[in-house]
Structure 1
Amino acid sequence: MADVLHFGAAVAGARALCVFVHGRGQTPEAMVDHVVRHLPQDVAYLLPRAPGGSWYLARAVDALTDVTRAELAASLAQVEAAIADLRRVSARPLLLAGFSQGGCLSLELASAGRARPDAVAALTGCRVGLASDDRPSAATEGLPVYLTGGDRDPWIPLSAFAEAAADMGAQGVALRADVFPGRAHEVSAAEIAMLAAMLADLGAGQAPRMEAPR
């Protein structure tokens, strides 16, 4: 598959699968350096690359426009293709994860009810658009979702994080939501530990318990 970075185990022999979506202005290589190389290496990781470094041009907290909806549709299709690429080779459990804009995209894909990952981790994420916008809400009931935010984050305000938590909870997912006071716009060690625990649970054939400490 074009425009995707493979890291970790070979897909056919991996204990679990992970699609990890980078944020605005970032790259798959940066996500590997900052996050993925610190996760279990018996997992097959695919990291799709956004054209031009951005999955959509608007801020996540802006009202949805026709342009943003079209950009979201194209980006979701690219992430879905990465998921399909893994699942053509392996039936092992799959975690969909992303940071910042990638976290937002992960929530949107889960809410669309398509591709159906076995768990989702949206690190510094929120729903794209406003609560008053027409947005899909078809997440799989009981889907394990880990959602994080920071109280001073310059891109995802705490109000958007809280609205996303309420939205995902209303969709019936199994949600853990953590706020990290004063954390920079980055993935913290505690969030990496949670991802590692989720992948270990998936690799062991069980639903993520999301019990790692903050």
Structure 2
Amino acid sequence: MNKLINEGQKPQKGKKAAIMIHGRGASAESILSLKSYLKLDDFALIAPQAAGGTWYPYSFMAPDQSNQPALTNSLQQIKEAFGSLIEGGVLASDIYLIGFSQGACLSLEFASRNAQKLGGVVAFTGGLIGEKINRDNYQGDFEGTPVLISGSQQDMHVPLERMQESETLLTKHGAKVKLMTFADSAHTIRQEEIDWVNQHILG
């Protein structure tokens, strides 16, 4: 049984909702703590929990088969969370995906495999998943969905090149992408990223 934590408002038509996806070694509770910084007061919040705190065992750029079946199972878990919001009456265009690190990668991967008009996608330090980006995995049209891809220019886990490749692919599929990179090497979420999301995606 997959674990989901629900907080905030009740999912319903005309209301916004966010699926918040934690990083490796973290928890649903930890990613939900971002509600203290992001403008999510009026949102229904849903946070899936990865088994053992890890969505997939190796680097997001490891050979594809090495992260199976965990990656497929994790994407299914996000699909179920998304589906539960739709069943609750929330429109896809009012659903936001917000993730950090592994959660950011999963947010981008799920959104791009199912591209449609969403409320927004926030990928704090992440990129599309795979040893190489397989363009055959991605379909649909984001129809102008705002997307943030952000992180360090020298992050030890997420190379700048993969963030740039992800920006290119999402843009090709109709997303309005902001790539925000930083000169420091910190694997974290910065105040500048929070401020940009609050103003341009959640505002």
What TM-score, normalized to structure 2? Answer: 0.86
Within 5 A, what are the aligned runs for 1:131-210? 131=132, 133=134, 135-142=136-143, 143-182=145-184, 184-197=186-199, 198-200=201-203
CA contact (8 A) 2:12 2:90 kept: no
Partner of 1:207: none
CA contact (8 A) 2:115 2:141 kept: no
CA contact (8 A) 2:21 2:28 kept: yes
What TM-score, normalized to structure 1? Answer: 0.82
Change (3 A) 1:157 1:94: same
Partner of 1:30: 30
Within 5 A, what are the aligned runs for 1:1-214? 2-12=2-12, 15-33=15-33, 35-39=34-38, 40-65=40-65, 67-92=66-91, 93-113=94-114, 117-131=118-132, 133=134, 135-142=136-143, 143-182=145-184, 184-197=186-199, 198-200=201-203
CA contact (8 A) 2:97 2:122 kept: yes
| SS class of match (1:11) | coil
Change (3 A) 1:139 1:119: farther
CA contact (8 A) 2:118 2:142 kept: no
CA contact (8 A) 1:16 1:199 kept: no
The runs of at least 4 consecutive aligned structure 1 residues that moved more than 3 Å come to 12-15, 114-118, 132-135
CA contact (8 A) 1:48 1:79 kept: yes
What code does the residue aligned with 1:187 have? I
Cα distance in 1 for partners of 2:69, 2:188 equals 28
Cα distance in 2 for partners of 1:126, 1:22 equals 15
Change (3 A) 1:86 1:78: same
Q: Give the number of aligned pairs.
A: 198
State the Cα distance separating 1:131 from its structure 2 match.
2.7
CA contact (8 A) 1:123 1:147 kept: yes
Cα distance in 2 for partners of 1:115, 1:48 equals 21
RMSD over aligned CA atoms reads 2.3
Cα distance in 2 for partners of 1:95, 1:27 equals 19
State the Cα distance separating 1:86 from its structure 2 match.
1.7
Change (3 A) 1:191 1:139: farther
State the Cα distance separating 1:193 from its structure 2 match.
2.3
Cα distance in 2 for partners of 1:125, 1:103 equals 5
Change (3 A) 1:13 1:164: closer
